[in-house]
Every structure is written in C-alpha cells, then in structure tokens.
Amino acid sequence: MKKRTPIVIGNWKMNPNSLAHAKQIFIDIKTGLGRKKRTTIIAIAPPFPFMEAIYKLNVREQVELWSQTIAVHEAGAHTGNVSLAMAASVGAAGVIIGHSERRAAGESDEDIAAQITLALKQSFPVTVCIGERERDCEGAFYSFLETQIETIVAAVPKRKLHLLTIAYEPIWAIGSGAAATPADVQEMKLFIQKYIADRCGRSALTKVAIVYGGSVTNKNADALIREGEVDGFLVGGASLRASEFISIIDTVEAYVQETIS
Ligand code: PGA
C-alpha cells in the first residue's frame, strides 16, 4: 500500500503574546531544523496577525504555514473573521478545520463542512479535527466520532481525498498532559480507517492521512508514532518550544525513514 505523506503541524493557538516572541520561536525552529531534507511535512499554524511576518522569515520554505481556521464565507460583512483568500495571501498553504476549541466556541458540523468545501475548492490541504469529550464504558463515543467523520467524508469529493488529513484529538487529552495511550491511538486510527474504507473504498486509505493530537511531547512521540501507527501529529503546547518541537519532528522522520526502507 502506498504510504501517505507524514505531517507534523504545530498549532500555536492564541500564543505567544507578541510578534517579536512569535518571530523568535519561528527562527529557533527554522535554525534547529537546519537544511536537512525530510520526507515529513512540517507546518506551523501561527495566529493570523503574525502570519505575514513569519512568512517573510520562511526562506527556503522548509516549514509550511497553515491557518488555524477560516471563515465559513468567502468574503463580505463578517466582522472579526478571516477568509481563506486572506490567509492564503499572507502565506497559508493549508488549513486546520474543526479544532475542538473552535467547536466549543460554536462551530457546528455544518460550519465545518462549509470550511472544508471552501478550502478544497481552492485545492488547499485540510486537517480536520475530531475527538470525543470523554469515553463512556458503553462506547457511545464511537457513534459520536462516526457522526464527525461522516460530516467530513460527505464534504470531500473523492478526487480530493488526497488533500484530507484527519486529526484524532480526544478533548480530554488536549493540553491536559495526559495523552491517549499508543494502543488507544492505534485503535482509533483503525476505527477511522474502517469508516473511510466502508464509505469511500479501500483505495481511499492510501490518500487520507490520520494524525494524533493531544499532549504530544518529545517523551511520548516515539511510542505514539510506532505503536499508534499514525501519519504524524498535531502538536499544541510543545510546538511553542522550538527544541521540543524539532525533537518530535525528528522522531516522526526517523520512524518514516525506517518504514520506507
Ligand atoms: P496540546 O494541543 O498538544 O497542547 O495538547 C493539541 C491541539 O489542541 O491541537
């Protein structure tokens, strides 16, 4: 089976507080990465006001800039919103959609479908987040996740499946310091893949990448990637610490190189 492209995305959320600090973190990441060629796609999603300045620092472009979200509209009277075209014009090369913090702020499945449609219309890669708030013994969270996956799959035309990454991010693991176990990550990856295969055919599995997010650190990344068998990570807190973020990227890259050869 053809390998999906591995990816590590750093989601800076509403951090850091100043442009000067954001530039410093980015420079530290770029310097730490050096010129080494990697198979893994590396992306950072900074807050919108920092995007252009960081884009200008991104010489040799070994890091992609991603947008943390986009508006559900293409343009117009939507105070406070940022459109895909705006984000693209200051360097965004991909979009995170449906992060649980966006969902908690009111984004519905319909909004998420609209954002996916807008981004894919411009052939933008999207990483769409799913994840349960808590795990019940009866397993009701499985059907909750199925509804989230269905919304995504229904919004992605078959010929655009290669632009889709699904991030499994259980809400209880985000920012809590308690990541899912590697065994749980592997199980959820297989669960998502089964749904996709049933719905879109087995060949879709070579196209749709699946990553994990939720308290990924340089300590747990190795076990999560090896035993979880995911295609990479969506990293929050640790992506603001340059050396830790690079160590997570290198862990993914080492695994990718081992499994390629
Ligand atoms: P965390 O965040 O790594 O800080 O847990 C992950 C995310 O919300 O994408």
Summarize pLDDT for 168-194 with one digit per residue, the tens: 999 999 999 999 999 999 999 999 999
Q: To test ligand 1's pocket by mutation, which of 95, 128, 215 has the most ligand atoms within 8 angstroms of CB?
A: 215
Of 99, 107, 244, 253, catalytic: 99
Of 64, 101, 132, 169, catalytic: 169
CB of 125 within 6 A of ligand 1: the answer is: no
Q: For residue 67, is pLDDT > 90?
A: yes
Q: Report residue 4's pLDDT band, with 50, 70 and 90 as the boundaries.
A: confident
CA of 42 to the centre of ligand 1 (A): 16
- The mean of the pLDDT values for the chain is 96
Query: Phi then psi for 176, rounded to 5 degrees?
Result: -95, -15
Q: To test ligand 1's pocket by mutation, which of 7, 11, 220, 230 has the most ligand atoms within 8 angstroms of CB?
A: 11
CB of 11 within 6 A of ligand 1: the answer is: yes
Q: For residue 33, is pLDDT > 60?
A: yes
For residue 2, what pLDDT is reported?
A: 52
Residue 223 CA to its chain's centroid (Å): 19
Q: For residue 1, is pLDDT > 60?
A: no
For residue 150, what pLDDT is reported?
A: 97
Distance between CA 48 and CA 245 in Å, rounded? 20
